[in-house]
Amino acid sequence: MPSKGCIVIVEPDDLIRELLESWLGEAGYGVILSAKDHNANVIDTQLVIADISRPSSAEGTIEALRDTYSAPILALSARFRQGLGGSSEAAHRLQVVNVLPKPFTREELLAAVSDAIEGHGAGGSVDPPPS
C-alpha cells in the first residue's frame, strides 16, 4: 500500500507510541518516531502528533515543534476530557489544529489525523504567533 504521507510522533510513553505507530502504519501512513529531540531531517512531513502531558510546558514544546516542522500539529493529552467541548478551545489556545483527549479509539485517532491533514481541525487554520 502506498504511503498516505509521513507523520512524526512525539510521545514519551512507549506503549502509546507503539500503538500510534501500529494504527497509523496499518492505515497507510509512514511514521517517524521522535522522542524529545525534534529532528528536522524529515522531509515532507504531513503532520506532527505530540503528547502534551503538562500544560506548563505545552507552549515551549509546540514552539520547538513548529520551529522544526512546517506541518500541522495534533496534540494528544490526558488533560482534556472528551465530550466537554474543551478540545476546540484547547486547540485554539495551544495554536494546534486539534487536541485529541486520551484515551481515544483507533477510529477517533484516524479521523483526527485525516481532519488535521486536510486542514479541518478543531482549531482551524493556525498560523504561528507573531515573533
Average pLDDT over residues 87-102: 80
pLDDT single digits (tens) 12-45: 899 999 999 999 999 999 998 875 545 555 567 8
Alpha-carbon distance 119 to 66, whole Å? 16
Model-level pTM?
0.79
Residues contacting residue 113 through CB under 8 Å, at least 6 positions apart = 7, 24, 27, 29, 47, 49, 74
Identify the structural domains of the chain with CATH numbers, from first to last.
6-118 (3.40.50.2300)
